[in-house]
């Protein structure tokens, strides 16, 4: 799965949740405005709807804060460090992998076949994906592990 982009996906999830919260806020405000002129059963029904939206809104805000905190305090620092390591070492690991395949192709080992498969899979990607640091990181980590197994 070379197109795995955790940072990008995490940011999209946070953005979508933020947008959902804003929609709930608008719904709550519009419902409250509409409920001002109601009476009796209709007023009671609107009060229940307002309460349900408020509860849902509170829950979504809590989840949003939790996700944002996790992203900022737990996920991003080590992941950015991992991406920096990839940026620095990708070419070296890539070249070593190609060399390993070239030197060991006729041996037909599992490690050699896996490295060959990973390199071919990466080469078949679109240029934009090949240059995406998170995609390169997946390839980098896989190839690094496979090269260690080859020793």
Per-residue pLDDT of the chain (151 residues; tens, 9 = 90+): 568 899 999 999 999 999 999 999 999 999 999 999 999 999 999 999 999 999 999 999 999 999 999 999 999 999 999 999 999 999 999 999 999 999 887 887 899 999 999 999 999 999 999 999 999 999 999 999 999 988 7
Residue with tokens 């109601």: 38
CA distance 111 to 126: 25
Surface-to-core class of residue 115, CB atoms within 10 Å of its CB (0-12 exposed, 13-18 middle, 19+ buried): buried
Q: Residue 60 is encoded by which pair of tokens?
A: 């979504």
Contact 135, 125 (CB under 8 A): yes
Domain boundaries of the chain, sorted by first residue: 6-149
Query: How many CB atoms within 10 Å of residue 47?
Result: 14
pTM metric for this prediction:
0.78
Using DSSP, state whether 5 is helix, strand or coil: coil
Instruction: Tell me what pLDDT residue 3 has.
Output: 80
């Amino acid at each position: 799965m070379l197109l795995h982009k955790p940072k990008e996906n995490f940011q999209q999830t946070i953005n979508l949740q933020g947008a959902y919260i804003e929609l709930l806020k608008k719904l709550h405000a519009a419902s409250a405005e509409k409920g001002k002129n109601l009476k009796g059963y209709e007023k009671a029904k609107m009060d229940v709807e307002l309460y349900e939206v408020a509860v849902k809104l509170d829950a979504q805000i809590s989840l949003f804060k939790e996700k944002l905190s996790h992203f900022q305090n737990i996920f991003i620092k080590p992941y950015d460090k991992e991406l920096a390591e990839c940026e620095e070492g990708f070419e070296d690991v890539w070249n070593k992998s190609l060399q390993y395949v070239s030197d060991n192709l006729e041996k037909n080992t599992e490690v050699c076949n896996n490295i060959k498969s990973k390199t071919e899979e990466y080469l078949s990607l679109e240029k934009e994906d090949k240059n995406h640091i998170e995609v390169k990181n997946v390839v980098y980590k896989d190839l690094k592990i496979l090269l260690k197994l080859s020793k």
